[in-house]
Structure 1
């Protein structure tokens, strides 16, 4: 019985897609279909119902899936532990992350990751759309969202802390807001994503519910960096999580934090940066070590939550330590 055919069958069963399985194994979809068909012929049983919309297990397929899944996982773990016990991790790992977080932080961490593990191949996909890691074959998915029961194995990297900010030029021309309600009279630069224009929320105590602010201004955009550039140019006030801001923007006085005695947010629900993986992927030493590397590089609390003069130094120290450990 061909083990690769069984692996293809298991992945098709999990994803419901020959195409997703082909992407995961980097082979043509026709090869996956051919291997699975040969497995069905060898067993003398139809394992999958196939139609133009979806692929699902037959009754025989469900029984076979449950019987062979753990056996194949144990076999792969044993082989991986023996082959790579004394070696650095290598091969392909697929990471998915939101666009802005990925550009500003995850890409830099991946650079350090590949310095430590030069034989590692990383496929980094940046998108703000919520993907299904199983369907897309992602080993590690980083999300910015409320906590969800997704059926995935997850770890919270950190909660989001938001900062309201404006340039000195804007404050000189329009004055400094003294209360959150004052923002309704100011020119606010608003993020507009897939769910529409973002509302701003505030509260004075963590135990209180958030109050809503329907702010408005001269610019809306689905790109955080475009809004930050406009804010630095004096066009208005911005609200973003700490990880969006460049540390130099505050160190060099391009932007000034505002209303720091209040807690701000872009959602009334608590939002977190989470790292998620399908349960079977976390059985891989490679995926576990890459996940641990990313968590270590970000730190607890995340390095970007250290504002002011030390923020840039913290990032440099964290990445230097991570890369330095790999060189020792």
Structure 2
């Protein structure tokens, strides 16, 4: 079977669209349909469900896609190596990120990536579940939190810096806490996930002693952005990593940082943000270039830590 049919099928599997695949390869949509129909006849299985609204993989199509995806990636890597076209970065790169991190940062950073590599196609999947990058076919994965031991190549982007803050309106009405214990007399907006409501940890820089506060307040949520919006509306105090905030809110004094002489967290041990990838994917020139782009664009320390 013609290699082009496999490439068309793989792109339809990713985009869910014959027309998007046709635009990507700059061929008529009828050609994509014809090649894939011929592929289905060759393998003796229906690979795609087609209707007027969407194109989806059948069970057989899903298994087939997983198998040929690795073959196509190896072929692309071999082509890159043999061609020696150092500046020719094109094709598909799959990125996975947590939901909020993807929405707040990765989407914005993609603008610069496309300007640098206009022939690149990105598939961005956002989920708060810890996926297996190898099984899911992710080239690059951003992971927030503690990194489990694995066979993946990982790079620590930064330690998470937590910021305690409230709106200027809240501070004007209720004042500022002087020490962490004062938070028990304030309205705190608390993240509550599968592990229960978070406890807030504070320590003086350079010391090991930690003060743990069981905070209370008018709102709990399993969505951090909901709580940030509530803080902006003057409902209370939040403690979140700096990357969850828009820096402009601090620059224009909409949000006021509290207890700046204390280090806050929601964990007993510091947590980080990591960029990870299966080792074989970093052999690909395009994946390595995207990896390097994100490291440079985020910086060290990361740009989101600059709150002034």
TM-score, shorter chain, exceeding 0.5: yes
RMSD after superposition: 3.4
- 1-side partners of 2:136 and 2:76: how far apart? 21
For 1:301, what is the secondary structure of its paired residue?
coil
Is the 8 Å Cα contact of residues 166 and 234 (structure 2) preserved in structure 1?
Answer: yes
- 2-side partners of 1:199 and 1:92: how far apart? 41
Residue 180 of structure 2: aligned partner: 180
Residue 171 (str. 1) matches residue 171 (str. 2)? yes
- Residues 178 and 25 of structure 1: is their aligned pair in 2 closer, same or farther, counting only changes over 3 Å? closer
- 1-side partners of 2:179 and 2:243: how far apart? 24
Give the C-alpha shift of residue 198 in structure 1: 1.7
- Residues 133 and 24 of structure 1: is their aligned pair in 2 closer, same or farther, counting only changes over 3 Å? farther
- 1-side partners of 2:160 and 2:149: how far apart? 19
Following superposition of structure 1 onto structure 2, how do residues 23-34 of structure 1 map, counting pairs within 5 Å?
none
Give the C-alpha shift of residue 279 in structure 1: 1.1
- 2-side partners of 1:262 and 1:87: how far apart? 47
Give the C-alpha shift of residue 74 in structure 1: 8.0
Given the two structures, how large is their TM-score scaled by the length of structure 1? Answer: 0.71
- 2-side partners of 1:75 and 1:236: how far apart? 55
For 2:240, what is the secondary structure of its paired residue?
strand
Cα deviation code 1:125-149 (max 9, x no counterpart): 1111111111111100000011321
- Residues 72 and 130 of structure 1: is their aligned pair in 2 closer, same or farther, counting only changes over 3 Å? closer
For 1:202, what is the secondary structure of its paired residue?
strand
- 2-side partners of 1:110 and 1:72: how far apart? 24
For 1:110, what is the secondary structure of its paired residue?
helix
Give the C-alpha shift of residue 195 in structure 1: 2.6
- 2-side partners of 1:292 and 1:127: how far apart? 23
Q: Which runs of 5+ in 1 are unaligned?
A: 8-19, 36-54, 56-70, 309-328
- 2-side partners of 1:94 and 1:77: how far apart? 15
Residue 269 of structure 2: aligned partner: 269
Is the 8 Å Cα contact of residues 158 and 272 (structure 1) preserved in structure 2?
Answer: yes
